């Protein structure tokens, strides 16, 4: 589900020396709810026009995506040399919000997480509350069809950044998607990493 691996590099690659995209505010927790909010709710809360809309096929279902992104050509990111950027993707299916994911390399709202703790998450044993206690507030959530089961829920931890010049930009990305059964116990753990930090 890590949609921001696609959108964030596109925004960063478009940087010259100015800003790219329109700055936006991440919705406060609970303002938009996966499984309850609609596409119209997303548009009302975000107010500004999205950078891009599109579609993806997941679990044989067509999902609509709405992407917001912003990057600064000057300024400091989470780590030295990192381009400060943020992005958010909303996913809807049959007009219902089925996923939302925020990512940032700005120091004030960076979505960096400690991947060394991922092995402590055990399928069939670790609970949702324990995952949140271990890694903090997730920066994304998802339900079917973004995850496999119609009866499960998922939370997302993800972080990406870019370093270098427009013509020699290096990307780093990591994402953890943890799914939970109806009892709030981990049913699946999917961790991916790419690029160089």
Express each pLDDT in 161-180 by its tens digit: 888 766 777 888 899 999 99
User: What average pLDDT does range 135-151 have in this prediction?
Assistant: 93
Overall number of domains in the chain: 1
Long-range contacts of 26-30 (CB under 8 A, 24+ apart): 26/86, 26/88, 26/102, 26/104, 26/109, 29/137
pTM: 0.86
- Per the prediction, the chain carries an average pLDDT of 86
DSSP SS3 for 3: coil
Query: What pLDDT digit, counting tens, does each position of 24-65 carry?
Result: 888 998 999 999 999 999 999 999 888 889 998 989 999 999
Q: How many CB atoms lie within 10 A of CB 119?
A: 9
Q: Which of 96-110, 136-150, 160-174 has the lowest mean pLDDT?
A: 160-174
Q: Which domain holds residue 165?
A: 4-195
67 vs 2, residue with greater confidence: 67
pLDDT at residue 23, rounded to an integer: 82
pLDDT number for residue 166: 65
């Amino acid at each position: 589900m890590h949609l921001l691996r696609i959108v964030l590099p596109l925004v960063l690659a478009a940087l010259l020396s100015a800003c790219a995209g329109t700055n936006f505010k991440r919705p406060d927790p609970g303002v938009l709810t996966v499984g309850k909010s609609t596409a119209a709710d997303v548009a009302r809360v975000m107010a500004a026009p999205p950078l891009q809309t599109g579609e993806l096929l997941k679990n044989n279902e067509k999902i609509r995506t709405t992407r917001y992104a912003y990057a600064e050509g000057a300024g400091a990111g989470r780590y030295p040399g990192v381009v400060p950027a943020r992005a958010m993707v909303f996913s809807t299916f049959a007009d219902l919000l089925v996923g939302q994911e925020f990512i940032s390399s700005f120091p004030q709202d960076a979505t960096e997480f400690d991947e060394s703790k991922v092995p402590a998450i055990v399928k069939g044993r670790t609970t949702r509350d324990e995952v949140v206690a271990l890694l903090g507030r997730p920066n994304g959530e998802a339900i079917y069809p973004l995850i496999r089961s119609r009866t499960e829920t998922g939370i997302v931890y993800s972080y990406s950044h870019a370093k270098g010049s427009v013509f020699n930009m290096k990307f780093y990305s990591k994402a953890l998607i943890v799914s939970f059964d109806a009892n709030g116990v981990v049913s699946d753990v999917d961790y991916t990493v790419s690029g160089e930090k």
